[in-house]
Structure 1
Amino acid sequence: MTQRTLAGILAAPLVLALLVIAATQPLPYVTYEPGLTVDVLGDTDGAEIIQINGQKTYRDDGELRMTTVYVSQPDAKLNLFDVMSDWISREDAVYPYKAVYRPDETTEQSREDGAVEMVSSQDAAIAVALAELGYDVEPALEVLSVSDNAPADGRLKVRDVFRSINGTPVEEPEDIIDTLQATPPGEAVTFEVLRGGEPTTVRVVPTTNEEGNQVVGIRLGTGYVFPFQVSVNIADNIGGPSAGLMFSLGIYDTLTPGSLTDGRIVAGTGTINGAGQVGPIGGIQQKIVAARDAGAELFLVPPDNCADALGSQNGDMRLVRAPTMHSATDSIKAWVDDPDADLPTCKGNA
């Protein structure tokens, strides 16, 4: 037996052991892959995604597609082969774990945060679309989530808009927090809220948390009082704030005659605030790939994502910079009139 053969025989178990470790040892990375796209002008489980009561609506052809990303969950055990597969792909991405999740974040916490962000995103999108159409929209404090088995569970509901607590008008979160802290243990507080536009009275007995604070188990955020009922019926497994722009455009299109896209497919992404400004999102390159595969001809890009968008696999799909909902609406209308129109671009803005 030669020395080279002997070395090969001795090295084989070591190589095998290294392969086993690579296949089983979790690595601190998160993978991004193109997700599904959803036409916000369509329906889900037989119900229209954008639902409006008390105002005339226009259901036309065309699609406005929100885009998503498949992101590995906080408790996913990604091995070397998982990470290398997405790292090699031109359409997937790999990021350090700490760049995406908190060190102690769980999958349940991530989903809860995503659900809260979705509620806030939808409400801001409704407010922006209605303001664009000239309606008056009143900002207010609302319930973004209710913790399971908390004192408020079964009493307060997501999107309840606060009007008063113990008879005192509610304008800031501190109005609720201060009243709760001043409430003797075991005594109830009385909330006056708007639920679906109707005044409702709710009594809740706070509990004392580990820090010694009186709480009822809700998360607060900015909501709005709308002139008529508008809601977005999206699947529970989709969370986060990144569909805000597309929700706003969908609501605008549903409330205006004719098809905003002239029957064609437009996709995009971007958070949106109450002023109509479009903010950055994660996974822009994967969302562009998903939109391309869904047949979109135009994709709306948040300005802060322009640099990454320019390196995406967009094919023939046109990328348009969208700093605001108003700008996005104007760009779509100009493109419908002339597919070669000069539109805001990411070039020079990266």
Structure 2
Amino acid sequence: MTALLVLLGLTVVGSVLPAPVVALGPGPTFDTLGDVDGTPVVSAQGLPTYPTEGHLNMTTVGVTDGITTIRALGLWASGTHRLAPRSSLYPPGRSTDEVTAENQQEFDGSIANAEAAALNHLGLPTRVTVGALTDDSPSAGVLEVGDEIRGVGGAPVASVQALLDALGTARPGEPLELTVSRDGAAPREVTVTPAPHPEAPERAFLGITPATTPADGQRLSITLGDVGGPSAGLMFSLALVDKLTPGPLTGGRFVAGTGTINAEGDVGPISGIRFKMIKAQEVGAETFLVPAANCAEAAADAPDGLQLVRVGTLDEAVAALETLDAGGTPASCTE
């Protein structure tokens, strides 16, 4: 009788008190070629666009927080979820809002990189602009978001990397001359005095996030609310390439995938690929694009019937889809 009462007591406690864990599992998936709440996920203004077919779904990892011990055990036993210490996602001393804001910042950065990678892949004219200003930026009052940076110290800059290379020779406290154009006006010279970099005081810090943007009169837009993190970058870039080039890139197929991307088009690894593959198969995907660095993990746990395609760059991802459309076999994670 005593053992039964103890068991009942533990069951009651386990069904009420929150466990110090979160459950990770398949999260929402969105077609980057489609609309969400009536708004296109990806769009372009001032550039010719073309009809698309099929799907290019970005995938996410779902995080279930505030769960009881009983609920946590149930999710773990389902085989589709994994438990992780809550502190691994929400470190002590940091609020949920702070973590959410950081994830949103990463997502915004992935959008900027996705746009730059697509523009570079397509060989479209671009400009180097101020994408964002940090809090208490040394550039505040001199530069504004959207300003085009055409030169540093009298030397022209044609890409974000060229700007970063030029800034690499600057020194904290030494005034730096920039050539800037605002709202299409004639270029002018402005002076910014860099501060010491927060993480490396010997480096100059302007407090700006540079971005690659289309030429004047052109605009790319990526809109998707309630999603954080950088792992949708590859699929955003592919959607832009598809909409800005004739002929459907997917060949009408249901393609899903994941992967970070930088402005140069390099595809980086992500976490939770097992959960993303599960969700992709659930919604009907036939092909899943896998970052090269995640291939071994993906191949070891791939759902039956889901074709895994290995991609290391945006160029490789586009080529892989074109190979599929032509009836060929692209690089696989099982090779």
Q: TM-score, normalised by structure 2?
A: 0.77
Distance, in Å, in 1 between the alignment partners of 2:287 and 2:213 is 33
Give the C-alpha shift of residue 178 in structure 1: 5.5
**Map of 1:78-97 to 2, 5 A cutoff?**
78-97=67-86
Give the C-alpha shift of residue 319 in structure 1: 1.0
Q: Does 1:17 align with 2:6?
A: no
Distance 1:259 1:116, change over 3 A: same
Q: Does 1:290 align with 2:279?
A: yes
| Partner of residue 303 from structure 1, selected from 292, 313, 316 | 292
Distance, in Å, in 2 between the alignment partners of 1:346 and 1:284 is 13
Distance, in Å, in 2 between the alignment partners of 1:82 and 1:319 is 32
Consecutive unaligned residues of structure 2, counting only runs of 5 or more, are 158-162, 189-205
In structure 1, the partner of 2:26 is 34
Distance, in Å, in 2 between the alignment partners of 1:277 and 1:197 is 31
SS in 2 for 1:310: helix
Q: Does 1:342 align with 2:334?
A: no
> Which one-letter code corresponds to 1:284 in the other structure?
I
> Which one-letter code corresponds to 1:67 in the other structure?
T
Q: Check the 8 A contact 2:257/2:290 in 1, yes or no.
A: yes
Identity of aligned residues (%): 34
Q: Check the 8 A contact 2:111/2:222 in 1, yes or no.
A: no
Q: CA RMSD in A?
A: 4.1
> Which one-letter code corresponds to 1:42 in the other structure?
G
**Map of 1:209-288 to 2, 5 A cutoff?**
220-227=208-215, 229-288=218-277
In structure 2, the partner of 1:60 is 52
Q: Bigger shift: 121-130 or 91-100?
A: 91-100
Give the C-alpha shift of residue 273 in structure 1: 1.0
Say which one has the larger Rg: 1
| Partner of residue 44 from structure 1, selected from 21, 32, 36 | 36
> Which one-letter code corresponds to 1:347 in the other structure?
T
Consecutive unaligned residues of structure 1, counting only runs of 5 or more, are 1-7, 184-190, 202-217
Q: TM-score, normalised by structure 1?
A: 0.74
Give the C-alpha shift of residue 144 in structure 1: 4.1
Distance, in Å, in 2 between the alignment partners of 1:130 and 1:198 is 23
> Which one-letter code corresponds to 2:295 in the other structure?
C
> Which one-letter code corresponds to 2:112 in the other structure?
D
Deviation per CA, 1:311-333: give whole Å up to 9, x if none: 44523221111111111111111
In structure 1, the partner of 2:203 is none
| Partner of residue 125 from structure 1, selected from 105, 114, 117 | 114
Give the C-alpha shift of residue 230 in structure 1: 3.4
> Which one-letter code corresponds to 1:260 in the other structure?
L
